[in-house]
Amino acid sequence: MGSSTRVRRRICTTWRNKLVVEPTRQKLSARFKPSMILEAAQPFDRRTIFWFCLSLAVSAYFASEGLRQAFRGPFIAPDDARQHIFWMARLGGSGLLPNDLTADYFQAMAPPGYTALYAFGAMLQIDPLVLNKLLPLALGLVTTGLCFLLCFQLLRVPAAAFISSLLLNQSLWMQDDLISATPRAFLYPLLLAFLYFVSRRSWAKALTALALQGLFYPSVVFISLGILALRLIDWRDGRPKLSRERNGYFAFAAGVAVTAVVMIAYAWKSSGFGPVVTASEARLMPEFAADGRMRVFHDTFWGFWISGQNSGMVPLTSLMPFTICSSLLLPVLMRFPKRFPLVKQISPNLKLLAQLAVASILMFVAAHAVMFKLYLPSRYTQHTFRVILSIAAGVTLIIILDGAFHFIDARAKAPATARNLAGVSLLLLMAILLIVYPGRPRDFMQTSYRPGRQPQLYEFFSQQPSNIVIASLSREADRIPLFAQRTNLVSWECSIPFHKGYYSRIRQRAIDLINAQYSADLVELQNFVRKYAIDFVVVDQRAFDSDYLKRDKWFRLYEPATSDAINRLKAGTEPALAKLMTQCSSFSNEDIAVISAECILGAPPH
């Protein structure tokens, strides 16, 4: 065979590939590669708008389930409302909760933006608890929209952005962070807004988002500032070098100024409650033990550094749903661009996720180093890791799906039926991973909405003067300030042990109340009532059973008062208060008795 013949055959083969084989493969690709994994031709074409609206619809659906639970009865509230919402009865000049130490403390700890939002609602005659139940809908929609836009900045595949927002919604609604509408609920939209504007180099908007972070959830400001600092370092020729982008330096300097103002303002607000407890002091306090009020010092290395809800870097809740852990495959996929061609289309903005992770870890370490001065270490990683994993998982799953369809396309000789079956199977598997696995929202959602168990008790107290003081060791006392808007001397929910000026007084109140309630000496009980200007004492009907004190871990924090009370009950000593349960009762049912302090003071010695 001559050389001219071989040349002609090569030319014919080349043209046959161009005219026949490649078009055939393109048709197969169009046939077996669904449009959901194709890149958007324009920033916001019809397909992108469809996936964006679908993302918002999913968020609204989740929120509707939350609203259904929130408004199914008159006395329903999320757990955290007992700390962050009850004191807002003061807004609007109502005169409620006067001279209330607990209300003073939580009002001082509330970020100014958060307080201003609820104050604005009160000005519009919106009850704080009602606003608290409505806010998750708005926060969820904003968070979803910003998550979609940020993911779309990283990879212009609308379906990837939808998957990321879906996973983030599932993760958020599996916890009670967003639905609590407390300061930490604002972290998600404000952090995503900051990341989105940084990815677009819209520095003025990014700094606005940073300032809002300081007004609503100050801790996240340090993370955002860390991102701005990390962006001042570029890797060129395999070495770290300072960035040449001048606007980045301006943004960092402005971020430092915002952070300084926020921290000074926050320190000034909390200064009236004394210094924060130190790590060495906390280690000796039962409140910070593994079974205490604020579980920090776990018995194991893993519990303290990794999985602890307050001290660990990655609490289990940050990895739910477990679908988001697929994001860990992304660095592996990026090493094989031929097998997973879509990785070539990933934007350099992907490094934002890495910078967010690094900044979060650095703040986690810093929070451990100066324990409690920067609040709880886990707060710097558990929320941001949830965002990182959700966004990266959406990108990862679409890349894997795209790579799988490329693999199917490469098997052009396979029967069409087999290729169709393989394509349908891939889409079904993806649907199972994203939808079927978590289940229905009403099954996996953790709204933490809890109904008040004593509506008649709340109604009784709400009819009393607004300046009354109630003393109670009952767990039902946690709900009285929220539902009845009356002052409670001390409660488990509000016994937060961080600021010594606050908690030392709360602890003394609890000890005095235990001693008075279980003392056989009527004079001691009367002295307690006078000391704290008590108007009513609320007692559980089973309170004078020694097992009552043993079962509740709150009482174990206040030794030796609790042990002394248990010993007296076991010895058969009847407390003075128990003898007055009948004659001094102002309200009672099978669970609760309300005893008049006026009657206690007027009781003759036995």
Report the Cα 324 to chain-centroid distance in Å.
17
Mention every residue, 6+ apart, whose C-beta is less than 8 A from residue 172: 140, 143, 178, 188, 386
The yes-or-no verdict on residue 32 having pLDDT over 90 is: no
**What is the SS3 assignment for 233?**
strand
Does some domain include residue 442? no
Burial class (CB in 10 A: 0-12, 13-18, 19+), 578: middle
Q: How far apart are CA 389 and CA 274, in angstroms?
A: 38
> What element of type H or E holds 263?
helix 246-270
**Hunting for tokens 């370490």 — which residue is that?**
365
- Could you report the per-residue pLDDT of 189-219, keeping only the tens digit for each? 999 999 999 999 999 999 999 999 999 999 9
Q: How far is the C-alpha of 246 from the C-alpha of 176, rounded, in Å?
A: 41
- The larger pLDDT score, comparing residue 177 to residue 361, is at 361
Q: For residues 414 and 548, state if they share a domain.
A: no
Q: How far apart are CA 529 and CA 598, in angstroms?
A: 9
443 occurs within a structural domain: no
Say if pTM beats, i.e. exceeds, 0.85. yes
What's the confidence (pLDDT) of residue 431? 77
Residue 425 lies in a domain: yes
Residues 346 and 398 in one domain: yes
Specify whether 415 is located in the same domain as 492: no
Give the residue, 36 or 373, on which the prediction is more confident.
373
How far is it, in rounded angstroms, from Cα 532 to Cα 368? 38
Q: Look up residue 446 and give its amino acid.
A: Q
105: in domain: no
Task: State percent of the chain over pLDDT 70.
Answer: 90
CB-CB neighbours of 568 under 10 Å: 16
Q: What confidence tens digit (pLDDT) does each residue in 423-440 have?
A: 677 777 777 778 777 766
**What are the backbone angles phi and psi of residue 92, rounded to the nearest 5°?**
85, 10
Q: Do 345 and 489 reside in the same domain of the chain?
A: no
CATH number of the domain residue 576 falls in = 3.40.50
Indicate if 561 and 580 belong to the same structural domain: yes
Same domain, 180 and 220: yes
Q: Above pLDDT 90, what percent of the chain?
A: 61
The total number of structural domains in the chain stands at: 3
What is the pLDDT confidence band of residue 28, given thresholds at 50, 70 and 90? very low
* CA angle, residues 39, 43, 44, in degrees to nearest 5: 100
Tell me the mean pLDDT in the region 505-528: 95
Same domain, 517 and 407: no
Per-residue pLDDT tens digits for 385-394: 999 999 999 9
Residue 274 corresponds to which tokens in the numbers above?
């004394």
- Same-domain pairing of 228 and 255: yes
Instruction: Show the domain range for 465.
Output: 453-602
Residue 103 in any domain: the answer is no
Same domain, 497 and 398: no
Residue type at 506 in one-letter notation: I
Let me know: does 33 contact 405? Beta carbons within 8 Å: yes
How crowded is the C-beta side of 64, counted as CA atoms within 13 Å? 7
Q: pLDDT tens-digit profile of 462-487?
A: 999 999 999 999 988 889 999 999 99
Give domain status of residue 90, yes or no.
no
pLDDT digits over 68-113, tens only? 989 988 899 988 898 999 999 999 777 899 999 999 999 999 999 9
Note the pLDDT tens digit of each residue in 300-321.
999 999 988 899 999 888 888 8
Strands 469-472, 536-540: pairing is: parallel
Question: For the CA atoms of 575, 578, 584, 589, what is the dihedral angle to 10 degrees?
Answer: 150
Q: Are residues 357 and 485 in the same domain?
A: no
Spatial contact of 99 and 90, defined as CB atoms under 8 Å apart? no
The total of other beta-carbon atoms located within 10 Å of residue 350's CB is 18
